[in-house]
């Protein structure tokens, strides 16, 4: 592989850094975690920004810092309170790793955030990118922070042919970044890379006419911008099909189940789910009229077919309330939502909860979507 960054002279690197940092000082985004160099604030923001858009993160960041203004507050927080603040942001293992790392800081570093890249990397949930971001921004350590935006910029800057979907390719980008990163202002340099990748050097239709480093970009000079970065196709998430039962008792309480304490959506609360086959899912879609609001039956399916949630004495409404879809990194959930009434106790493990008390429970995004379907139908019924 060609390493064109090795051909850059020290003068060219100095000119590049000067032009790039001048652009950043003029155009940098006004973000709440950039007001100071507090490593705690930087750390929280970088974890939140993983797999999540900046405009979504801002409100979550403010709420998080209000609830947990210090590392000690985070370390000592009840998990359900932590997850409630994180609710809707997704990838909940991030929140749990944050708390685990906060406890590490309290126990192993006397409550002070570590100041070396090696020690930062030792914290739960922190990889090379996050360690580079915190180290460079908070402590001015010239450590690259290489994420997808940065790989895209650098791949075009030097026409790097390495496949960014492969972990082994990171070495090329790390080597290139260490060659060009500012030794005096590494934090600003890394953030400039992030901003450039998100606003100008975008995946499609890069705005090369306003790019501050256009004159240094090899892909631009060769008119090959759209050929980079090289990325193999990501494996599609697996489709999984469910029915969800919104079950109400005579006290107007709704039944909720808690997920196991490990695995996907650990310890979160949802309406009961039952996995079904794709053909069965399609059959139910076609069989039950979403406009038949007031029809009930002791069995929602054909008599010869198994009922939902077997052995439960539930009278099901003969209607699909709605369909919910939710994509995880590796799974795509398809959920048909049904409503039922129950007079007898359920043998399912879970809690009966008044709808007014829902805010006390941590609901993941799929549950929020299902609840919205239910509430919309309830509103329609009252009209």
- Give the pLDDT confidence score for residue 293 in this predicted structure: 54
Q: Which of 283, 258, 279 is CA-nearest to residue 269? A: 258
Q: Which of 199, 227, 255 is the last residue of a domain?
A: 227
Domain CATH for 39: 1.10.340.30
Please count the other Cβ atoms lying within 10 Å of the Cβ belonging to residue 317: 20
Q: Is residue 233 part of a domain?
A: no
Domain CATH for 302: 3.90.79.10
Looking at the fold, whether 68 and 138 belong to one and the same domain comes out as yes
Classify burial at 46, counting beta carbons within 10 Å of its beta carbon; exposed 0-12, middle 13-18, buried 19 or more: buried
Q: Greater confidence, 17 or 266?
A: 17
Q: Greater confidence, 247 or 295?
A: 247
- Give the pLDDT confidence score for residue 65 in this predicted structure: 97
- Give the pLDDT confidence score for residue 317 in this predicted structure: 84
Classify burial at 176, counting beta carbons within 10 Å of its beta carbon; exposed 0-12, middle 13-18, buried 19 or more: buried
Q: Which residues belong to the active site?
A: 46
Which residue in the block uniquely carries the two structure tokens 């009229």?
289
> Which residue range is the domain that position 349 belongs to?
238-382
The pairing of beta strand 331-342 with beta strand 238-248? parallel
Looking at the fold, whether 256 and 202 belong to one and the same domain comes out as no
Looking at the fold, whether 145 and 191 belong to one and the same domain comes out as yes
Looking at the fold, whether 301 and 325 belong to one and the same domain comes out as yes
Looking at the fold, whether 103 and 245 belong to one and the same domain comes out as no
CA distance 374 to 336: 11
pLDDT score of 308 more than 80: no
Q: Is residue 107 part of a domain?
A: yes
Looking at the fold, whether 80 and 22 belong to one and the same domain comes out as yes
Q: What are the pLDDT digits (tens) for 195-230? A: 999 999 999 999 999 999 999 999 999 999 999 999
Q: Greater confidence, 118 or 262?
A: 118
Q: Which of 185, 204, 227 is the last residue of a domain?
A: 227
Looking at the fold, whether 61 and 205 belong to one and the same domain comes out as yes
Q: Is residue 269 part of a domain?
A: yes
The answer to whether the Cα torsion of 366, 367, 373, 375 is positive or negative is negative
- Give the pLDDT confidence score for residue 144 in this predicted structure: 97
Q: Is residue 306 part of a domain?
A: yes
- Give the pLDDT confidence score for residue 383 in this predicted structure: 45
CA distance 258 to 272: 9
Q: pLDDT over 90 for what percent of the chain? A: 77
Query: What pTM did the predictor assign?
Result: 0.81
Looking at the fold, whether 30 and 128 belong to one and the same domain comes out as yes
Indicate the number of domains in the chain.
2
CA distance 153 to 160: 10
Looking at the fold, whether 223 and 242 belong to one and the same domain comes out as no
CA atoms within 13 A on the CB side of 25: 7
Looking at the fold, whether 213 and 247 belong to one and the same domain comes out as no
Looking at the fold, whether 87 and 112 belong to one and the same domain comes out as yes
Looking at the fold, whether 303 and 326 belong to one and the same domain comes out as yes
- Give the pLDDT confidence score for residue 305 in this predicted structure: 38
Q: Which of 192, 227, 262 is the last residue of a domain?
A: 227
Q: What is the DSSP letter of 218?
A: H
Cβ atoms of residues 324 and 337 within 8 Å: yes
- Tell me what the pLDDT averaged over the chain comes to: 91
SS3 63: helix
Classify burial at 71, counting beta carbons within 10 Å of its beta carbon; exposed 0-12, middle 13-18, buried 19 or more: buried
- Give the pLDDT confidence score for residue 222 in this predicted structure: 96
Q: What are the pLDDT digits (tens) for 127-183? A: 999 999 999 999 999 999 999 999 999 999 999 999 998 888 899 999 999 999 999
């Amino acid at each position: 592989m060609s390493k064109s960054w090795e051909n850059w002279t020290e003068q060219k690197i100095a000119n590049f850094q000067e032009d790039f940092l001048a652009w950043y000082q003029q155009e940098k985004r006004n973000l709440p975690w950039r007001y100071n160099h507090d490593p705690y604030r930087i750390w929280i923001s970088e974890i939140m920004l993983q797999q999540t858009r900046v405009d979504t993160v801002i409100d979550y960041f403010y709420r998080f810092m209000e609830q947990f203004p210090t590392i000690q507050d985070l370390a000592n927080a009840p998990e359900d309170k932590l997850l409630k603040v994180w609710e809707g942001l997704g990838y909940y293992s991030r929140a749990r790793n944050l708390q685990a790392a906060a406890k590490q800081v309290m126990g192993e570093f006397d409550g002070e955030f570590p100041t070396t890249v090696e020690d930062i990397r030792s914290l739960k949930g922190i990889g090379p990118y996050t360690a580079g971001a915190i180290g460079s921004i908070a402590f001015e350590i010239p450590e690259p922070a290489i994420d997808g935006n940065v790989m895209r910029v650098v791949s075009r800057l030097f026409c790097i042919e390495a496949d960014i979907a492969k972990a082994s390719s990171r070495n090329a980008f790390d080597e290139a970044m260490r060659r060009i990163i500012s030794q005096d202002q590494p934090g600003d340099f890394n953030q400039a890379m992030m901003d450039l990748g998100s606003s100008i050097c975008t995946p499609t239709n890069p705005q090369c006419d306003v790019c501050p480093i256009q004159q240094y970009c090899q892909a631009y000079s060769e008119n090959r911008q759209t050929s980079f970065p090289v990325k193999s196709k990501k494996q599609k998430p697996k489709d999984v099909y469910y029915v969800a039962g919104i079950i109400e008792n005579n006290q107007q309480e709704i039944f909720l189940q808690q997920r196991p304490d490990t695995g996907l959506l650990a310890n979160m609360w949802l309406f009961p789910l039952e996995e079904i086959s794709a053909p069965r899912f399609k059959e139910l879609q076609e069989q039950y009229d979403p406009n038949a609001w007031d029809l009930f039956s002791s069995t929602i399916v054909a008599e010869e077919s198994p009922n939902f949630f077997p052995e439960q004495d539930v009278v099901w409404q003969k209607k699909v309330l709605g369909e919910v879809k939710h994509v995880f990194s590796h799974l795509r959930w398809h959920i048909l939502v049904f409503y039922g009434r129950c007079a007898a106790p359920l043998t399912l493990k879970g809690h009966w909860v008044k709808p007014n008390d829902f805010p006390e429970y941590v609901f993941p995004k799929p549950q929020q979507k299902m609840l919205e379907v239910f509430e919309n139908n309830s509103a329609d019924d009252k009209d």
